[in-house]
Structure 1
């Protein structure tokens, strides 16, 4: 995830054990009944149990062919050649079993974004070994447990591949995907013991996201008790894996944010990952950093948390789903459909992680996918069809095989790089878009695009695989009780 502001001191924190303080009070019987009565199942796949395979419907590909393509893509990204193809690496074991990480190859780090994406892919495709290994690594290295760290209970968003930190702050998109993947695991495989009691672990994450205490502390911070305090280095972390990208500076998709180490001690206040008044996910839980990231808004997931999450929070997540649907409409440019990397809660664009004023950039790629999956699973907001139509039409005018990966919101290109990950996310827009030539062109372009390899295989590859799964009807609400 592109998020320089999280690096302000490499921090974000929480001084007391939130686990005890964050335990929400039980809901009354009346409030629980009221929340249940307010839940609307919509008219999408959650209700019908029918997930469309657009490659079969629109391109004439057989279900067997699309499934084989997805399985082959998984094998390449998770078990292919270590130098050019895969992003998944097993690193031994501990008392909880196998350990593995997903790496951003070009930047040579491990991010909660990629770890939680990997877990989601694994549970959707019934790959329990990979799922458990990624969760074990996340809990072992990324979960902040030091009582003096204001981010205790959150996951540090970026780590070195040896498990040492690159940041001590959290990024809400990682927590969101962790929680959803764990709920699906509980329903696909059942709950195990310890860290593999998936339901309990997901509930803990969601409670923390909403009820994390507001705590102020001064860095440097540790991830775990006994660690050395984390001090951001004077120079960015070198990577042996991005020589070509360094040679062509400015063309990397999903680069590490600009290096702005702060040496003067500065108190940091950390609180919940959600803004209660607006029922929206925050950009980061540090209270001095404003706003939200539109690509973190996941109403398709919030609907499930309104059914499966801690009872006392279910009404909040139902409200968050509705708020996010309205937010998508407010942030999308009325002509291009492009939305900003960051925005205030009223939809006003904020500066991006690199200081650019309100641009469509790497995080923004995912927003069309988010509202389109919501349309597919729940079908509660007819405006989402117009949103997908608008954005796909604009990109089509730029050329489906050559549109840039960054734009001003009114459509001026800010790069000359065409990214597989952006194409993949835009293609998911076909789940919500009006059927026709434009949406079919995106489906065809994604189908014809090779699996990303080489230096940029992390972000492009993860989005490529998940988008193929969405469009083939193999990214579903996993709930054995509804079969």
Structure 2
């Protein structure tokens, strides 16, 4: 229900509502959001069509071509080279005040937009950049930064990128994982990247570094602090559905439930005065807005509605649309949009504003383009037809963002355009023939592609070597593959009852592979990377290096080591 703030505004608000309602008579807006989600039914709402628009497809395609094209005023997708050699592409955060930079959120949004538009080349170009230039090493001296993606990169005087802030902005990791799982479903994981494995690794990083009590953190350095815009419960349900480990499924299902509870609590706590139903920049884990500033360089007080908070209604509506609408979704959306509608009618400027503190606008600017885009998506959970006319048309008639502030606004524009045209989908392997690599057999030989010889346990004691030898039927060459909760595998010798281990947990090239008592630590866990030719590589979890026949050699007794992954025959094995 729209909340009218004072009696003097009542007549004007009713007039606005009646006029808007009359206009909506021509539209087919569904004011009863389905309680079964589109992810379950496969029926994705085309809000543009509901609103009588017939040019949704062309607007989406044109918008993508501008964002990923070469128009200097709308382009966000740029090539990156070093010493004249092309490396990858990145999403450029245009900022005339502090200078252009590159952000993990933008890189992950770009990947999400690319996979939704079925553009694998652009997706791979962006992911290659993120992996090579944003990811922190797993052995970073600061445990909080191990394996996370630096949220901000800048350019030095020569144009080379460097990590300006190595800390994480966790919404980047969330969108990376989401985009990778969709890429796996759409295209499979047999090309340049194993999307599925990369997604699993990303989810483990989020779980181990960026969560507190099953709630996404704002930063690992401050307890009991979250950003409501980082809460994307529909993603968490998707993660649970796409993972195979029962414990991981349970974990992410619980995260989804906890996130929904947080969002409900947050909207309850901002209801009415003094926040007037608007989500805030920062919150405690119980949903309470964070009052004032709590860290150095904080751009706005934590209890303000500002540019991060624009995205909250978009995420709430996405959850309602994809996973099924509940009353709290609609109540939150109707109340937030109701405030904007009321303020637009009563503040004398004829528009609602970008930033609010306790219901009072904090700048003179009318609603930002990205804000208008997010509010259009919010209509997927609205039950008020007059709001559909007002907020959808406000977005649909808006030109695609251009110029100096096009990064944030333009990214939200494209994410919204996907959602309101029914093209923001959660893909599974059954949709497009991609999906998780086939499950390996429980017990197998591992035959090398280069030598045609098998991995062989050369003894039964701790420290006994792993070598290659002519394949035969003995237990020395039988390995049991034990699935781990994070999706990796331990390889247990049937001969020694010990596990294949990177000696000493080394991360160096040439480190020996031997056997040790199974403790299932990172040095005993390997990711199976399907090479698409019947062979797999075995990538060590702790070092990101691959099991390798030294040389490579075709001789019996050749040593097995780890080495930087290159995809050669000495690093390819098949289940035999």
Question: Are the aligned partners of 2:316 and 2:329 in contact in 1 as well (CA < 8 Å)?
Answer: yes
Question: CA 1:456 to 1:473, structure 2 compared with 1: closer, same or farther past 3 Å?
Answer: same
Q: How far is the alpha carbon of 1:92 from its aligned partner?
A: 3.8
Question: CA 1:435 to 1:53, structure 2 compared with 1: closer, same or farther past 3 Å?
Answer: farther
Q: How far is the alpha carbon of 1:337 from its aligned partner?
A: 2.1
For structure 2, which runs of at least 5 residues remain unmatched after alignment?
Answer: 1-33, 433-576
| Cα distance per residue 1:389-437 (max 9 Å; x no partner) | 11111111222972111112x3111112231011111111100001411
**C-alpha separation in 2, matches of 1:103 and 1:398:** 34
Q: 1:200 aligns with which of 197, 201, 204?
A: 197
**C-alpha separation in 2, matches of 1:177 and 1:198:** 13
**C-alpha separation in 2, matches of 1:285 and 1:97:** 35
Q: How far is the alpha carbon of 1:361 from its aligned partner?
A: 0.8
1:469 is matched with which residue? Answer: 418
2:61 is matched with which residue? Answer: 71
| Cα distance per residue 1:260-308 (max 9 Å; x no partner) | xxxxxxxxxxxx2011x3x21000122x354100000000100011111
Question: CA 1:424 to 1:139, structure 2 compared with 1: closer, same or farther past 3 Å?
Answer: same
Question: CA 1:310 to 1:413, structure 2 compared with 1: closer, same or farther past 3 Å?
Answer: farther
2:92 is matched with which residue? Answer: 103
**C-alpha separation in 2, matches of 1:179 and 1:148:** 21
1:43 is matched with which residue? Answer: 36
Aligned to 1:100, the other structure's residue is in SS state strand
1:243 is matched with which residue? Answer: none
| Cα distance per residue 1:290-343 (max 9 Å; x no partner) | 410000000010001111136232212111111211211222221332011110
1:183 is matched with which residue? Answer: 181
Question: Are the aligned partners of 1:98 and 1:132 in contact in 2 as well (CA < 8 Å)?
Answer: no
1:432 is matched with which residue? Answer: 381
Give the structure with the larger strand fraction. 2
**C-alpha separation in 2, matches of 1:394 and 1:168:** 38
Tell whether 2:324 aligns with 1:379: yes
After superposition, residues 251-266 of structure 1 pair within 5 angstroms as none
How much is the aligned-residue C-alpha RMSD, in angstroms?
2.1
Q: How far is the alpha carbon of 1:193 from its aligned partner?
A: 4.7
**C-alpha separation in 1, matches of 2:186 and 2:140:** 37
| Cα distance per residue 1:44-91 (max 9 Å; x no partner) | 101110111111112x112xx201101101111111322x21111012
Q: How far is the alpha carbon of 1:440 from its aligned partner?
A: 2.1
After superposition, residues 342-421 of structure 1 pair within 5 angstroms as 342-350=282-290, 351=292, 353-354=298-299, 356-399=301-344, 402-408=351-357, 410-418=358-366, 419-421=368-370
- Greater RCO, CA 8 A, separation 6+: 1
After superposition, residues 139-154 of structure 1 pair within 5 angstroms as 139-145=131-137, 147-150=139-142, 151-154=145-148
Give the structure with the larger helix fraction. 1
Query: Could you tell which deviates more after superposition, 124-133 or 377-386?
Result: 377-386
Q: 2:239 aligns with which of 295, 305, 322?
A: 305
Aligned to 1:166, the other structure's residue is in SS state strand
2:211 is matched with which residue? Answer: 274
**C-alpha separation in 2, matches of 1:87 and 1:144:** 24
Q: How far is the alpha carbon of 1:98 from its aligned partner?
A: 5.1
Tell whether 2:274 aligns with 1:334: no
**C-alpha separation in 2, matches of 1:349 and 1:310:** 36
Aligned to 2:240, the other structure's residue is in SS state helix
Q: How far is the alpha carbon of 1:166 from its aligned partner?
A: 1.1
| Cα distance per residue 1:232-257 (max 9 Å; x no partner) | xxxxxxxxxxxxxxxxxxxxxxxxxx
Question: Are the aligned partners of 2:300 and 2:306 in contact in 1 as well (CA < 8 Å)?
Answer: no
Question: Are the aligned partners of 2:35 and 2:326 in contact in 1 as well (CA < 8 Å)?
Answer: no
**C-alpha separation in 1, matches of 2:210 and 2:242:** 19
Question: CA 1:360 to 1:459, structure 2 compared with 1: closer, same or farther past 3 Å?
Answer: same
Aligned to 2:162, the other structure's residue is in SS state coil
Question: Are the aligned partners of 1:110 and 1:159 in contact in 2 as well (CA < 8 Å)?
Answer: yes
**C-alpha separation in 2, matches of 1:364 and 1:473:** 23
Q: How far is the alpha carbon of 1:93 from its aligned partner?
A: 8.3
1:317 is matched with which residue? Answer: 252
After superposition, residues 153-164 of structure 1 pair within 5 angstroms as 153-161=147-155, 162-164=160-162
Question: CA 1:355 to 1:435, structure 2 compared with 1: closer, same or farther past 3 Å?
Answer: closer
**C-alpha separation in 2, matches of 1:435 and 1:55:** 16
Q: How far is the alpha carbon of 1:118 from its aligned partner?
A: 0.2
Kindly tell me the number of residue pairs found equivalent between the two proteins: 373
**C-alpha separation in 2, matches of 1:143 and 1:125:** 25
Structure number, greater radius of gyration: 2
Aligned to 1:306, the other structure's residue is in SS state helix
For structure 1, which runs of at least 5 residues remain unmatched after alignment?
Answer: 1-40, 212-271
Aligned to 1:104, the other structure's residue is in SS state coil
- TM-score calculated relative to the size of structure 1: 0.74
**C-alpha separation in 1, matches of 2:118 and 2:354:** 32
Question: Are the aligned partners of 1:55 and 1:472 in contact in 2 as well (CA < 8 Å)?
Answer: yes
Question: Are the aligned partners of 1:142 and 1:157 in contact in 2 as well (CA < 8 Å)?
Answer: yes
Q: How far is the alpha carbon of 1:380 from its aligned partner?
A: 5.0
Tell whether 2:398 aligns with 1:449: yes
Question: Are the aligned partners of 1:302 and 1:321 in contact in 2 as well (CA < 8 Å)?
Answer: yes
